[in-house]
Amino acid sequence: MAQQQEENFFDKVYDVAAQVPYGRVTSYGAIAKFLGAARSARMVGWAMNASHNRDDVPAHRVVNRVGLLTGKHHFDGTNLMQQLLESEGVIVKENKIVDFAKLFWDPAKELL
DNA sequence: TGAATGACTTCGG
DNA sequence: CCCGAAGCCATTC
């Protein structure tokens, strides 16, 4: 074990993701930038991959910069992620979030 | 140590 | 925003 630092990084991602308002979404880059790792957007996705160990991590609220449900394939079902978003009032079409610009939630601005 | 991979982003067309 | 290619960064083999 000696991987507490990494866990800290994940914890930050979880913290931000957990603070995403209901019916809203954000992007990996936004979180990464908020954490000071704008160039590690992929790591945010990696953290999300590990988010399966956490229950309060609405990974379905985190999508790529265009609102595309790139991670839906990592969920249990094939369309579980979309259903979760729609369950929150978010309209999803062809694995993409409708009016993503409106639903986009930037932690660096909203959470600040 | 080095090559491969990936839940991304940015640039140019 | 769509398409193609390159870049970045951390984890894994």
Structural domains of chain A sorted by starting position, each given as residue range(s) with its CATH number in brackets: 3-102 (1.10.10.10)
| Mean pLDDT value across residues A46-60 | 91
C-alpha to C-alpha distances, A14 to A22, A32, A37, A62, A96, nearest whole angstrom: 15, 12, 15, 11, 22
Q: Determine the pLDDT at residue A10.
A: 87
**What's the predicted TM-score (pTM) here?**
0.91
DSSP structural state of residue A110? I
| Mean pLDDT value across residues A23-36 | 95
| Mean pLDDT value across residues A41-61 | 92
Q: Which residue is nearest to nucleotide B7 (CA to C1')?
A: A71
**Bases of chain C with protein Cβ within 7 A:** 1-2, 8-11
Determine the length of chain A.
112
CB within 7 A of strand C (chain A, 17-56): 37, 39-40, 42-43, 46
Does position A3 have pLDDT exceeding 50, yes or no?
A: no
DSSP string spanning A12-66?
HHHHHHHTSPTT-BEEHHHHHHHTT-GGGHHHHHHHHHHGGG-SS--GGGEE-TT
Q: Determine the pLDDT at residue A77.
A: 86
**Bases of chain B with protein Cβ within 7 A:** 6-10
